[in-house]
């Protein structure tokens, strides 16, 4: 007889979610998690929020770059372009 894995409880499920999104869970754990998620709205909310934070982290391109820092680099670029040996 094939042993079935015990069902997950919420406290265990939350610890698998990042790996679930990474696609790095074993098939067995993935099935257990999906089964749990199908029955647990709270864990589904949790997963959705992890997804949302991941999406939000990539949504802003450039961070504030100090104008002075940018000026310095552009100055460097000009020096280099005009005289690559010195740059």
Partner 1 sequence: MDDAELLERLLAGDEKAFTELVVRYNATLIRLALYYVNGLASAQDVAQDTWIAVMRGADRFEGRSSFKTWLFRILVNRARTTGTKESRTIPVDPTDSGATVSAARFDGGGAWRVPPEPFTEAIDNAVANEKVIRLVHESIASLPEPQRSVVTLRDAEGLSTMEVAELLGLSEANVRVILHRGRARVRNDVETRMQGGES
Instruction: List residues near partner 1 by CB under 8 A.
Output: 9-12, 14-15, 17-19, 22, 24, 42-43, 45-46, 49-50, 52-54, 56-65, 69-70, 72-74, 76-78, 80-81, 84, 87
Cβ distance to partner 1 smaller for residue 2 or 11: 11
Angle among Cα 62, 66, 71 to the nearest 5 degrees reads 105
Output Rg (C-alpha) for the chain, integer angstroms: 24
Minimum gap (Å) between residue 1 Cβ and partner 1: 26
Distance in angstroms (rounded) separating the CA atoms of residues 23 and 51: 13
């Amino acid at each position: 007889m094939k042993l079935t894995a015990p069902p997950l409880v919420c406290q265990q499920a939350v610890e698998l979610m990042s790996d679930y999104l990474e696609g790095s869970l074993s098939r067995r754990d993935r099935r257990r998690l999906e089964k749990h998620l199908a029955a647990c709205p709270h864990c589904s909310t949790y997963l959705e929020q992890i997804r949302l934070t991941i999406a939000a982290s990539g949504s802003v391109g450039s961070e504030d770059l100090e104008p002075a820092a940018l000026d310095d680099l552009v100055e460097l670029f000009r020096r280099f372009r005009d005289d690559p040996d010195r740059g």
